[in-house]
Amino acid sequence: MSPRAAATTAREVALQVCRDVFGVQPRGARESLDYRLRASRLEPRDRAFATELAYGAIKMRRYLDFELQPYVGERTKSLPHPIAEILRLGAYQLRAMHGVEAYAAVSESVGLARKYGHKGTAGLVNAVLRRVAADPPREADLATRASLPGWVVTHWRERFGEARLEAILAGVNAPPAAGIVVDRRRLTRDDAQRILAQAGLASTPSPFAADVLILDAGVSTSTIEALGEGRWHLHGEAAAFPVDLLDPQPGARVVELCCGRGNKTLQIAARIGEGGTLLAVDADARKIAENAARLEAAGVSVVSLVTADATVMRAAADADAVLLDAPCSGLGILGRQPEARWRKHPDDPARLAPLQARLLTAASRCVRPGGVLVYAVCSTDRREGEEVVDAFLAAAPAFARTPLPERYAPFASASGDVLVPPGIAGRDGFFIARLARSAAVPMP
């Protein structure tokens, strides 16, 4: 991360995050924001303002450039990077942030332009933002208004229909809902809700995942984690659906492939209890190390972590339940990761599908007769969803889709899988297939 001095205001934190994300060595927005906030001495209210401003300006970059273009014109190509970002941040405050006075948005932006540029750039920022404040928003096409690549909007229109498209686009541009998965070894969901309420934090039980509470989008994640004292962990509601559908029972033998940093590992471990066992595998040694640290902090001892390529692992076919949360294009989490929409390519699903197919085959070799296999991706593209599963089932007659629990009926697809549209009710987009291995049909 850049060694630049710590920011002194919320707007300067947001500027530094935008520069990190779109700099010569691009960073993730969350990584950058966490670093910049730790280096600052901002009060909680200002931290929340910096977060909303940074994430919003990153998401709405295409629309903001469209709004600024008439006033900046050809100068866009020669603007110093910090000045271009200051203009976007100022325009976002004027166009999208309620409760921000136009005078404050303009004058604070001018102050940043003077600090990161000179008198001339400060004058430019002043003139441009005053025009933006005075003029009404320009007419724009849907993809520009939503500040998304056109191919993403087309994909969601084809996938979910015109009737849900506006709600999806609005949702992915709003702050995503926060969620926690409660460690049911240590307290009930009702107990967790009472603890949050005593701290002045309202929460709602998920009507789908039995161990999840949903909180307001603007709540401080650090506050939630501190209150939890290891009894819960942050996790989006839809991201908890795969384990809920896997439904590992106390004492079960479970395998998790592509376990990553451990959100689902912790969720599974809490469900199987001390009498169960969990083998969690990932090819990234850094993720395994982070997973191990989180498990130790949570006092979990039933998990064996392995760094390995799951596609070439030897399997014993003795697991009661297997979860594969496969690497994917991430088209379902564009609302949660602000910069992601600018780093995706329309060919990503086709590029990743062969790997997903190999991983699904590898996962199937771990399942005992009568066992359950859940395949999940945080993508809404059918090439990573139904097409991967359909091809697998055609080649593996021992497996078949199983009926979904009735509570998941709102997300049931025509093929009998779970398809969660992104953005609606603050959720991420997910595809999840629940498969079972027949005890009567031998594996090829």
Distance CA 253, CA 350 (A): 33
On whether both 220 and 248 belong to a single domain, the answer is: no
Task: Tell me the average pLDDT of the chain.
Answer: 95
The candidate with the shortest Cα–Cα distance to 343, out of 22, 13, 1, 53, is 22
Tally of domains in the chain: 3
| 3-state secondary structure (DSSP) of residue 47 | helix
On whether both 191 and 119 belong to a single domain, the answer is: no
On whether both 103 and 223 belong to a single domain, the answer is: no
Extract the tokens encoding 262.
Answer: 């451990």
On whether both 291 and 395 belong to a single domain, the answer is: yes
Strand-strand pairing, 319-325 and 303-307: unpaired
Which of 18, 258, 259, 378 is an active site residue? Answer: 378
For position 444, what pLDDT does the model report? 61
Distance CA 182, CA 211 (A): 5
On whether both 422 and 303 belong to a single domain, the answer is: yes
Question: How sure is the predictor about 7, in pLDDT bands with cuts at 50, 70 and 90?
Answer: low
Count of residues for the chain? Answer: 444
Indicate the residue among 124, 144, 164 that finishes a domain: 144
* CATH classification of the domain holding 215: 3.30.70.1170
Beta strands in 134-201 (DSSP E): 178-182
- Give residue for tokens 């190509």: 77
Range of the domain at 388: 238-437
Q: What is the CA radius of gyration of the chain?
A: 23
Q: Are 342 and 61 in contact (CB under 8 A)?
A: yes
On whether both 208 and 337 belong to a single domain, the answer is: no
Q: Does residue 163 form part of some domain?
A: no
Q: Does residue 156 form part of some domain?
A: no
What type of residue sits at position 316?
Answer: A
* CA angle, residues 244, 245, 248, in degrees to nearest 5: 70
Q: Are 249 and 210 in contact (CB under 8 A)?
A: no
Extract the tokens encoding 138.
Answer: 């320009």
* CATH classification of the domain holding 276: 3.40.50.150
On whether both 189 and 272 belong to a single domain, the answer is: no
Q: Are 230 and 297 in contact (CB under 8 A)?
A: yes
Q: Does residue 5 form part of some domain?
A: no
DSSP string, 384-421: TTHHHHHHHHHH-TTEEE-PPPGGGGGGB-TTS-EEEP
Q: Does residue 167 form part of some domain?
A: no
* CATH classification of the domain holding 126: 1.10.940.10
Hey, which residues does 256 pair with through a beta bridge? 280, 323
Residue 25 Cα distances to 63, 214, 220, angstroms: 24, 35, 28
pTM equals: 0.94
Q: Does residue 17 form part of some domain?
A: yes
Q: Is the pLDDT of residue 1 over 60?
A: no
On whether both 335 and 378 belong to a single domain, the answer is: yes
On whether both 214 and 242 belong to a single domain, the answer is: no
> Among residues of the chain, what percentage have pLDDT more than 70?
97
On whether both 119 and 210 belong to a single domain, the answer is: no
28-74 pLDDT per residue, tens: 999 999 999 999 989 988 999 999 999 999 999 999 999 999 999 98
224-233 pLDDT per residue, tens: 988 999 999 9
On whether both 220 and 307 belong to a single domain, the answer is: no
Q: Does residue 443 form part of some domain?
A: no
Q: Is the pLDDT of residue 24 over 50?
A: yes
Is 258 an active-site residue?
Answer: no
Give the pLDDT mean for 335-341: 95
Distance CA 213, CA 207 (A): 9
Q: Does residue 173 form part of some domain?
A: no
Indicate the residue among 213, 234, 255 that finishes a domain: 234
Indicate the residue among 234, 269, 301 that finishes a domain: 234
The candidate with the shortest Cα–Cα distance to 269, out of 289, 285, 249, 287, is 249
Q: Is the pLDDT of residue 319 over 70?
A: yes
Which range has the worst mean pLDDT, 72-86, 101-115, 129-143? 72-86
* CA angle, residues 182, 251, 370, in degrees to nearest 5: 110
For position 192, what pLDDT does the model report? 96
Phi, psi of 219 (to 5 degrees): -70, 145
On whether both 53 and 113 belong to a single domain, the answer is: yes
176: DSSP letter: P
344: DSSP letter: -
Q: Is the pLDDT of residue 3 over 50?
A: no
For position 325, what pLDDT does the model report? 98
Strand-strand pairing, 277-282 and 253-257: parallel
Buried b (16+ CB within 10 A) or exposed e, 247-265: ebeeebbbbbbbbbbbbbb
Q: Does residue 94 form part of some domain?
A: yes
